[in-house]
Structure 1
């Protein structure tokens, strides 16, 4: 009887412990479990108290009850532990295996859990359906999730093609392979192929396949089960997809930096906020966007396109070829037969229900043609704008700037508001260096690396992007050091990038004058127009001061030098450093001979 009392006291102690646990945790499921265990314990206690047992039998019963209790607790913890964690941290559902996702579906509070994790019911159910679907269904769901523009079955593979706006320009095409074969069999079958292949296999083999892909010694791409769950549940599937790729490919293969052409993806477009705000908020004026090559004019036009599309405005965007033939481009944009008259073009524009916005890139040749033809189209465009029928945004460089500012007889002078594109805002430069790197899991060792690189590149977006891209070409770890950046700055790619400044005009003699001025002044911290005129006269050249002044204007517009109160200084320290390493006397002599 005394043993029975002790056993009863022992179980009462267990019960008090359970009550404390109940008070500490508010989880609904844990409360229910504690209540059930408490009830079982009380019943067992009563059985022990009421039944007369011999001491040895009593001891064995006590041991058995304790074993049953701990076995029950172990089973409960093993089976329901993930539920307790999810209730406390709903975001953990992004890391659940398909098996646990299916279990969660049978819970009473599953809808509340996914809501707290910012996952819609539709997305959750589609994720479950994906794991239970066949190969063709998986291929279609996967291709739609990553925004592929096509998914074609080619034998055992699906060939996927990404759009121009995909964040990684190096991965426009790849293959998708779906099979339930063992991971080693898949590896032996695919490892020798030259294509990048994304592999989806069974739930049993997917993690093994991911380990093989994460070696980065092959061209296979495969997510772990948890990564696949996060991808399917995420509202930003493209970013999750890129995160998966960055674990399977070398950093150079997942570089998010676009160094050629305009930026087509909004995630890779930074800054120019004031320019965009002004143009978008004022659709009653025309705009002339002027800047040097690769300074971001086309990217600004693309950004405007995306915003006009979001606002469901009527717009047409096109880039002119070397002929500058606007009429052909207008006919194509307005779905008119090629060769349609100007009157038909005007009538079509006026027939639209809302104002038509035209974004015209590479407009220099068009402007030159207009001068030769008496500015016929410019006059029509101006009238359409004044009548509220259309809005025109032209982007170009020196010819457009020259006819707008230097040719006082040009109708373009008051055609639209002139916006000169300069360097990127400092904060936008920081975002350009940091955000794309963070998407692929890369950090900088020190904040000073970012600041120094921005200053060195003179806030030019294309220079910063090129430096970052070159760093990734040889990066073998997830942290960028100052040495990594310094090594990149010494590469041929950077030298090639810096050479474009000396050929800003189609006229080689004009380019020679630009280069001569730079070579003669590059050693100076600052200089004035008079300094340049004097230096050129001392070299025995007779060049009109107005031509010299125009050359300086072109260098300012080309973002080579800056001008403040008549003083000129060099904008890009990196360019100045490179030029100071050259044989300037020899280069000066060469340009002088070319100008004589």
Structure 2
């Protein structure tokens, strides 16, 4: 026969006693129908318990009757009765109203004699201010076992009662917590462990998550862990049930867009027009926000979108529900349209994350062709701050000094206009400087400025500056004048009358100027001793972009679109091939984006090479043959370029040509030329960033290495000979 060890018996018996005692107390407090003592009493007084249940209902009706009478008549009733009971013999409880607010309830003799209830009294007193009933035993009082819990005498509890309450409360609390955790855990357990997961939740699910976190008293902790401000969280919760117009306004405010009505659309739902902020690092100025009717199914929404007229504007579709999202996303991923789906989870990130504008950029980049939203601006001056890179030292020369005059000298497409636009943006709202940008289309400065100010075309420069000063409201005036070459050429022919006026205005302190131009400005500043621009201001040469800025230009906008290079050295090779010329880097990057296939986000060396020799890049290098209005000067420029190309094509590496070798070339061809003409040609080509040299005595080479790819060795030699022959023929005629 198998026996248990004594130690096992010693542990088991107390454990069984504890379990049995816990069961007895717990059943006595919470499940009396399973407790043996309570079962015995219920079987013995079953009739009394049934009558007591009916009496409790009657007492409830009597309280309601008294309270209703008082609320309607503002006086305490003299008598009340149980509604629907007309036979006094059927009455279980009789009501007496001895004084205001007191309801005396007396049990009748219908209760069995052994219950001890017949003739006993319970008094209930109404608190008028709170409409709360207080109960106490009357005289004579019912047996204690029949008293409701709120009518029992407030006697000190025994230790057994306190322990029973503690045990019962603990069991009940654990059961409640277990039940609460069972229902809450699947939704928020992961969020509590990792608060950042809040950003991945659908917007429609946020109210339920908020309630569950509130039940657990963890809302503040989770929001703090995710870095979400309480105000922003509440705004997101209100967004769920807000009107469509309010939702559109709130979404626009998060990215700094201007929300406006968009009439004329036949789409079922709400359509709004958004003007996007200048800080958006993409080439997108506006889009249409579409909030479909929530009653529509996904098929109906997609059908309505397909019925829209074709255009070039992006439509941002706000997902109305999780059920509609798969079809909306599939439609947005179709490259044939310009629709973008703002999913439920994306709406959550939009409203809760600090960088809502970044969320919009990620969304557009993932669902649209990158060429449609490319941040690279390949024509004109850079107008968006996010597309401007570098030039920090040049900006500092202007922004961190006292007001003065500046002369921006450089070739076309080297960034003069972009630099002036950046200066204008930096001075916007400045407390001491009022900055005005003006681009000349021809030689008529005063007429162009008068048109900008809305004044008569024949208004003089003094009156124009006076008007600008009035608009400056006491601030210093800085006038940025772009494209000044034609103006300066006309001024030189007429003896500089307007330039003299500008210099006088500057010396009087009424206005300061920044002039931007190419060769005519360079001549007026350095070669013409009679020019009023000589010593007029600080000369700033605009050439190549800083290497770090070029690398950022080639990588940062790409990264915003989710595009990366296969090798870390590819951006460096691209920048070097472009000669650190900003517009060539931008054009090359734009060509790289156009080569990307659907879903491709990695650029390889083959694509970089193809972009560098593409037609747009070669077109951007054109124009060097007509840098001067003088045909003879242009011919000398071409001879210099052909000679440098011949030298670089004849050997590998950056083999260039010196001034001595250039003069020898003219001598060998029998062409007599003034050396100053050659020096001017070299200066002009350097200013245009066609050629460069690192220091005096070193040979001239192409400033942009890819420049030489547009020449063939045999062709360039033939072109050089023809230019020399033509120059010799002209010299012979003279």
TM-score (norm. length: structure 2):
0.68
* Secondary structure at 1:412 match in 2: coil
- Distance in 1 (CA, whole Å) between partners of 2:682 and 2:28 is 104
Structure 1 residue 112 displacement after superposition: 6.7
| Change in CA separation of 1:459 and 1:566 when aligned onto 2, cut-off 3 Å | same
Name which of 209, 220, 237 aligns with 1:128.
237
Name which of 481, 490, 497 aligns with 1:369.
490
* Secondary structure at 2:657 match in 1: coil
Cross-structure match for 2:696: 565
Cross-structure match for 1:156: 266
Name which of 447, 458, 467 aligns with 2:568.
447
Structure 1 residue 123 displacement after superposition: 4.2
Name which of 435, 445, 456 aligns with 1:315.
435
Q: Tell me whether 1:475 sits opposite 2:596 in the alignment.
A: yes
Cross-structure match for 1:178: 291
Cross-structure match for 1:275: 394
Cross-structure match for 1:25: none
- Distance in 2 (CA, whole Å) between partners of 1:317 and 1:7 is 93
Q: Tell me whether 1:550 sits opposite 2:680 in the alignment.
A: yes
* Secondary structure at 1:393 match in 2: strand
Structure 1 residue 593 displacement after superposition: 5.2
Structure 1 residue 43 displacement after superposition: 8.4
Q: Relative to structure 2, which stretch is displaced further, 430-439 or 502-511?
A: 502-511
Cross-structure match for 1:19: none
Cross-structure match for 2:657: 527
Q: Relative to structure 2, which stretch is displaced further, 101-110 or 523-532?
A: 101-110
Query: Deviation digits for residues 328-383 of structure 1, max 9, x if unmatched?
Result: 23334445443223332343355541111111111112222222333232223223
- Distance in 2 (CA, whole Å) between partners of 1:45 and 1:580 is 105
Name which of 189, 192, 207 aligns with 1:84.
192
- Distance in 2 (CA, whole Å) between partners of 1:434 and 1:116 is 32
- Distance in 2 (CA, whole Å) between partners of 1:177 and 1:149 is 12
* Secondary structure at 1:395 match in 2: strand
- Distance in 2 (CA, whole Å) between partners of 1:253 and 1:130 is 30
* Secondary structure at 2:479 match in 1: strand
| Change in CA separation of 1:409 and 1:5 when aligned onto 2, cut-off 3 Å | farther
Query: Deviation digits for residues 140-188 of structure 1, max 9, x if unmatched?
Result: 4445546258552222354636469475765445443321222222223
Unaligned runs of 5+ in 2: 1-8, 37-173, 648-654
Which structure ranks higher in relative contact order (CA pairs < 8 Å, sequence separation ≥ 6)?
Answer: 1
- Distance in 2 (CA, whole Å) between partners of 1:488 and 1:440 is 18
Name which of 558, 562, 584 aligns with 2:716.
584
- Distance in 2 (CA, whole Å) between partners of 1:111 and 1:305 is 45
Structure 1 residue 84 displacement after superposition: 0.8
- Distance in 2 (CA, whole Å) between partners of 1:251 and 1:590 is 46
Structure 1 residue 391 displacement after superposition: 1.7
- Distance in 1 (CA, whole Å) between partners of 2:13 and 2:527 is 108
Instruction: Spell out the pairing of 1:348-497 with structure 2 (5 A cutoff).
Output: 348-351=467-470, 352-476=473-597, 477-497=600-620
Cross-structure match for 1:57: none
* Secondary structure at 2:262 match in 1: strand
| Change in CA separation of 1:273 and 1:117 when aligned onto 2, cut-off 3 Å | farther
- Distance in 1 (CA, whole Å) between partners of 2:505 and 2:24 is 94
* Secondary structure at 1:302 match in 2: helix
Instruction: Spell out the pairing of 1:497-512 with structure 2 (5 A cutoff).
Output: 497-512=620-635
- Distance in 2 (CA, whole Å) between partners of 1:586 and 1:252 is 40
Query: Deviation digits for residues 60-88 of structure 1, max 9, x if unmatched?
Result: xxxxxx99997754423113325414xx5
- Distance in 2 (CA, whole Å) between partners of 1:83 and 1:162 is 36
| Change in CA separation of 1:358 and 1:43 when aligned onto 2, cut-off 3 Å | farther
- Distance in 2 (CA, whole Å) between partners of 1:574 and 1:284 is 40
Q: Relative to structure 2, which stretch is displaced further, 471-480 or 150-159?
A: 150-159
* Secondary structure at 2:718 match in 1: helix
Contact 1:94 1:230 survives alignment (8 Å): yes
Q: Relative to structure 2, which stretch is displaced further, 169-178 or 276-285?
A: 169-178
Contact 2:666 2:724 survives alignment (8 Å): no
Contact 2:440 2:481 survives alignment (8 Å): yes
Structure 1 residue 553 displacement after superposition: 0.2
Q: Tell me whether 1:223 sits opposite 2:364 in the alignment.
A: no
- Distance in 1 (CA, whole Å) between partners of 2:199 and 2:242 is 20
Q: Tell me whether 1:189 sits opposite 2:189 in the alignment.
A: no
Cross-structure match for 1:330: 449
Q: Relative to structure 2, which stretch is displaced further, 521-530 or 342-351?
A: 342-351
| Change in CA separation of 1:358 and 1:113 when aligned onto 2, cut-off 3 Å | farther
| Change in CA separation of 1:263 and 1:138 when aligned onto 2, cut-off 3 Å | same
- Distance in 1 (CA, whole Å) between partners of 2:551 and 2:397 is 23
Q: Relative to structure 2, which stretch is displaced further, 74-83 or 236-245?
A: 74-83
Rg bigger for which structure? 2
Q: Report the number of matched residues.
A: 551
Structure with the bigger percentage of helix? 1
Contact 1:83 1:104 survives alignment (8 Å): no
* Secondary structure at 1:318 match in 2: strand
Name which of 194, 207, 216 aligns with 2:325.
207
Cross-structure match for 1:35: none
- Distance in 1 (CA, whole Å) between partners of 2:709 and 2:495 is 45
Structure 1 residue 314 displacement after superposition: 1.1
- Distance in 1 (CA, whole Å) between partners of 2:219 and 2:502 is 60
Structure 1 residue 466 displacement after superposition: 0.8
Unaligned runs of 5+ in 1: 11-41, 55-65
Pairwise CA RMSD: 3.5
Contact 1:207 1:223 survives alignment (8 Å): no
Q: Relative to structure 2, which stretch is displaced further, 96-105 or 491-500?
A: 96-105
- Distance in 2 (CA, whole Å) between partners of 1:111 and 1:358 is 53
Structure 1 residue 573 displacement after superposition: 1.1
Structure 1 residue 536 displacement after superposition: 2.1
